[in-house]
Amino acid sequence: MKKVVKDATEAIRGITDDMTLMLGGFGLCGIPENCISALVASDVKGLTCISNNAGVDDFGLGLLLKKHQIRKMISSYVGENAEFERQLLSGELEVELIPQGTLAERCRAGGAGIPAFFVPAGFGTEVAEGKEVREFNGKMHLLEKSLVADFAIVKAWKGDVYGNLIYRHTANNFNQAMAMAGKITIAEVEELVPAGSLDPDQIHTPGIFVQRIFQAEGLEKRIEFITTRS
């Protein structure tokens, strides 16, 4: 039951070249920024990263892309990351683009032990290439395989020493599903509290899914776009 580690550097021990990682968050909201910084410093390479997007050029997964530590991105959105776009178009980076809902469900299914499922999204597009197609209720569906990872790295608002996690608002977007789908799950939390401090009815991820947890430091809470009235 001893899950608390000192910091991000200790949390990512065992992550080596060519592993598959899931990284929670949506845009810059709810990303495990401490662990990403530790991965950048570790110089691990050849990673396959499963994440909704790749942050921005100078923050989040964009930092790993800049150092060419990622071999393949499995994501739904190229977004605001110019380096991601450049590496994709130049062929330097292997990219599997997946409809956003399908990506979320592939992660959730992996954590639930469901090997595959049928979904209508992507039928008739490049997404359907090489996939089994079946008709349900008069609509064509694609067979999608679930996703699992060597490590899932998530960010939570609060967590206790047993690994129980609560996410806040949009930060719950992919973190909850991914926390279930890692062989080893690492959680960095904004506030680490003693056992029994969390309301059981508010817990999103039970501690059974989490192997390592630590108190995050120096959180920047960046905003991708600041929009104000003229």
Q: What is the pLDDT of residue 54?
A: 87
Q: Give a yes or no: residue 221 inside a domain.
A: no
| Phi then psi dihedrals of residue 18, to 5 deg | 70, 15
Share of the chain above pLDDT 70, in %: 100
CB 120 within 8 A of CB 143: no
Q: Is residue 101 part of a domain?
A: yes
* pLDDT exceeds 90 at position 132: yes
Average pLDDT taken over every residue of the chain? 94
Please check whether residue 188 lies inside any domain of the structure.
yes
Q: Which two tokens stand for residue 223?
A: 């905003």
Q: Average pLDDT for residues 52-60, to the nearest whole number?
A: 87
Angle at 40 between CA 168 and CA 99, to 5 degrees: 50
Three-state DSSP class for 71? strand
The residues, ordered by sequence, that sit 6+ positions from 210 with a Cβ below 8 Å of its Cβ are 3, 159, 163, 164, 165, 179, 185, 186, 187
Residue 18 covered by a domain: yes
87 inside domain: yes
Identity at 77, one-letter amino acid code? Y
CATH number at residue 177: 3.40.1080.10
Question: d(Cα 149, Cα 23) in Å, to the nearest integer?
Answer: 10
Take residue 133 and report the two structure tokens written for it.
Answer: 């197609």
The domain tally of the chain equals: 1
Is 57 inside a domain boundary?
Answer: yes
Tell me which amino acid residue 172 is: N
**Position 214: which residue type?**
F
pTM of the predicted model, to two decimals?
0.92
d(CA 215, CA 193): 9
Say whether pLDDT at 70 is over 90. Answer: yes
Question: Which residue segment(s) compose the domain that 61 sits in?
Answer: 8-115+147-215
Q: Are 101 and 121 in contact (CB under 8 A)?
A: yes
Sole residue written with tokens 């990263």: 49
Of 24, 68, 66, the C-alpha closest to 46 is: 68
Residue 189 confidence (pLDDT) above 80: yes
pLDDT at residue number 57: 84
